[in-house]
Amino acid sequence: MFIPSSLFLLPSSFLLLPSSTETWTFIFVTISLMLYLYIGWRSRVQDSKGFFVADRGIPAIANGAATAADFMSAVSFISIAGAVSILGYDGSYYVMAATGGYVLLGLLLAPYLRKFGKYTLPDFIGDRYYSNIARIVAVIAALIISITFIVGQMRGVGIVFSRFLQVPIEVGVVIGMVIVAFFAILGGMKGITWTQVAQYFILIVAYLIPAIAICNALTNIPIPELAFTFGDIVEKLNQVQVDLGFPEYTAAFSKKTMLDVLFITISGMVGLASLPHVIVRFYTVPNVNAARYSVGWALLFIAIFSTTVPALAASARYNLIDSLHNKTVEEVQQLDWARKWQNTGLLEFSDKNNDGRLQLTPDAETNEIILDPDIITLSTPEVAKLPPWVIALVAAGGLAAALSTASGLLLVISSAIAHDIYYRLINPEASESQRLMLGRIMVVLAIAVAGYFGINPPGFVIEIATLGVGVAAATFFPAIILGVFDKRTNREGAISGMIVGLVFTTIYIVGVRFYGMPTWFLGLSDQGIGTVGMLLNFVVTLAVSRMTTPPPLEIQEMVGDLRSPLAAPAPISDIGEEQLD
């Protein structure tokens, strides 16, 4: 499907600029990386407060953009549209879960956690439940979640570099490791936050331009949301799917059961609301009011993206089928984008019936076109024959998305070890320089682990991240909600609930994904089991808390003050650090 460059205000043919996609990619990626490195250098910090919570000086609108960049990770930018494109209606839970999660975050979590006034989520768990054991369980969960998430980001970096700079995925991952380590080590949360602000605006522009162009070409409606709603692209795609033997694109529950879709959606919502690298963003603003406004700005910035996803997903699938299905092998090999994606190993062709043509079918035995869902967003501008500068911009956007979230995750991993374990439990007398040095060492170790799994991933990008979301749902959400809204929840209940949720969910996920265990619990997939883990956590926490000694009176008073719109943040005695509020 050809889309004329006249749709753009500054087409490359008019400007007489380079026509090579690789040249444009090199230019855009180099400029963006230099910008990130410059911001990291200018934002370098010399103390732990700046390294872990950006001196609590980030304005609400900037924090909203940084939070949106955290959300629009490689998972969102690269994979959500790809997942929706492959799954159709059944993939809509990714969009609903993501947006709903931030509503929950704004209403139930962010203001109270900011009022509590600490550095990290394990800080809240440890002090609210007056227990170092609770803190350690929270650290373990935070590490599992963060490592799981960062693997997806590194995989996304590798995919971008592999295709657009024509290097192996392994080399792309290593390049990404070096870049993200630089501004994470140097600037800490301060450098990461301002880098993410720049990354958000790069990636949202990179996402919207091809979406607008392809929707305009297919429906003559340039606004993606209106094109999806009022255009005929979905109707055409439904017919194409049926003709090829697939269910209609809009057919509900054709690939997953209704119960599984419901549980995946719930797990996604409460899990995203509980992610440590998202929650830590609200420790960086000056006060509770700024935390509330941050969530509002983040929802606005995220909505721009999430409402565009369905239109891009449907348009991309229609274009790919139109470009590849029933074409001769020679015709496909003449497509420059097809050859280059084939070189990455993420797109494969096999003329199994030797008829000289390639067919896309729902049967794996006869299907001759195999594509990784992670390439759909990145390949869309090329398939649609957009100008090379647009293709390169999408590459820069995908890279920005991956790097923005990876950097935040590195700080969570670093703070979990350097702050929550070393400083709070092992050496409360540690100096600023010791805490800062250990934090930076942990960043290096974390990026090495993430790089390894980015090169050897256990699934495609969005699957990997969805598993981390499930663990967050099963472990943190009940502990936070009950910690804020139920004075009677005590340490015994919280520890028991978190352990049960974490162990059950992790065993189910690992068993189903890596060891072929059947989906024995109501037929739920490993992506939806986090909801069950969450419910088990709630039940165990409430039951054990009611059967054991109530929390100390000062803890109950603190919980009451935490919810009061008038009371000042309640101090926790003997916390081992200054009250930052």
pLDDT in tens, 210-227: 889 888 888 899 999 999
User: What percentage of the chain carries pLDDT values higher than 90?
Assistant: 18
Type and span of the H or E element at 146:
helix 132-164
pLDDT in tens, 415-449: 788 878 888 888 888 887 787 788 778 888 888 88
Helix axes 388-415, 432-455, angle to 10 degrees: 130
Q: Where are the alpha helices (DSSP H) in 220-287?
A: 224-230, 233-244, 258-273, 276-279
6 pLDDT higher than 50: no
pLDDT in tens, 345-395: 778 888 888 888 888 888 888 888 888 777 787 788 888 888 888 888 887
State both tokens at 45: 């910090």
Tell me the C-alpha distance between 181 and 153, whole Å: 13
Residues 213, 3 contacting (CB under 8 angstroms) = yes
pLDDT band at 462 (very low <50, low <70, confident <90, very high): low
pTM score, two decimals?
0.80
513, pLDDT greater than 70: yes
CA-based nearest residue to 464, from 152, 219, 166: 152
Q: What is the pLDDT of residue 2?
A: 42
Q: pLDDT digits over 14-67, tens only?
A: 344 455 777 888 888 888 878 877 776 776 666 666 665 566 778 888 888 888
Residue with tokens 């919980």: 559
Lowest pLDDT segment from 9-18, 87-96, 245-254? 9-18
**Phi/psi zone of residue 120: left (φ > 0), alpha (ψ -120 to 50 degrees), beta?**
beta
Query: Does the pLDDT value for residue 491 go beyond 60?
Result: yes
Distances (CA, A) of 52 to 127, 240, 414: 18, 51, 9
DSSP 82: H
Mean pLDDT of the chain: 81
Taking the C-alpha atoms of residue 415 and residue 451, their distance in angstroms, rounded to an integer, is 19
What's the pLDDT score for residue 566?
A: 60
Classified as helix, coil or strand, 306 is: helix
| Higher-pLDDT residue of 473, 568 | 473
CA-based torsion, 223, 227, 341, 207: positive or negative = positive
Alpha helices, DSSP H, located in 357-431: 376-383, 388-415
Q: Is the pLDDT of residue 158 over 80?
A: no
Residue 482 CA: distances (Å) to CA of 227, 304, 487:
43, 32, 8
Q: Give the 3-state secondary structure of residue 429.
A: coil
Question: What is the percent of the chain where pLDDT is above 70?
Answer: 87
**199 has pLDDT over 90:** no
pLDDT of residue 44: 65
Strand, helix or coil for residue 430: coil
Write out pLDDT tens, residues 261-281: 899 999 989 998 888 888 877
Window from 165-179, 193-207, 428-442, 557-571 with minimum mean pLDDT: 557-571
Q: What pLDDT was estimated at residue 581?
A: 36
- Would you say residue 207 has pLDDT above 50? yes
Assign 532 a pLDDT band (cuts: 50, 70, 90).
Answer: very high
- Lowest-confidence region among 6-10, 125-129, 151-155, 161-165: 6-10
